[in-house]
Structure 1
Amino acid sequence: MTKRSIIDELSEQISRVLPQVSAAGEEVRETVRGAVKQSLARMDLLTREEFEAQTRALQRAEGRIEELEAAVKALETHLKR
């Protein structure tokens, strides 16, 4: 779930719980959406896309570490001869 859909979902739930919010219209919904968005921003949450990008970067780094460990082991073996 992306940050945007979380914000929309929370705003809709708040609107359902507070009928006066629904009656007040889009302006109040936007105010609630903005407040929720600010709260989430302070939590330093990642979007799904950012999380997936970091996961891919970590996988590449782990692969490179394995390659380097193998190279070091080969060099150590060569030096022991």
Structure 2
Amino acid sequence: MDTRQIDQIAQRLAMTLPPGLKSLRHELTDNFRAILQSQLERLDLVSRDQFEAQAALLSRTSERLKALETRLESLESQQRGRG
């Protein structure tokens, strides 16, 4: 989650404060932002771009593995035919 989204959430939380706490809004917004960032970091999330890059890599690796398995089966059958 980017910092702009975290800022928006923190501001929305601060806007829900009762009227008596409006004077603390700026300080509480900063605290909300810090708490949100630390909790999201603890979740060890990856960005959509990172996820898609890894999914593409996995797909290519899977295709290559299938090709190698097919080649190995072919070589094994040729070897059996000679033996």
Q: TM-score, normalised by structure 1?
A: 0.73
Gaps of 5+ in 1: none
TM-score (norm 2): 0.72
Segments of 5+ residues of structure 2 without an aligned counterpart are: none
Matched residues in 2 for 1:22 and 1:76: separation? 78
Which residue does 1:75 correspond to in 2? 75
- Alpha-carbon spacing, 1:71–1:65, altered in 2? closer, same or farther (3 Å): same
Which aligned runs of 4 or more in structure 1 are off by greater than 4 angstroms? none
C-alpha RMSD of matched pairs (Å)? 2.4
How many pairs does the alignment contain?
A: 78
Q: Hey, what's the Cα distance between the residues in 2 that align with 1:6 and 1:64?
A: 39
Q: Percent identity?
A: 29
Contact 2:14 2:25 in 1 (8 A): no
Rg bigger for which structure?
Answer: 2
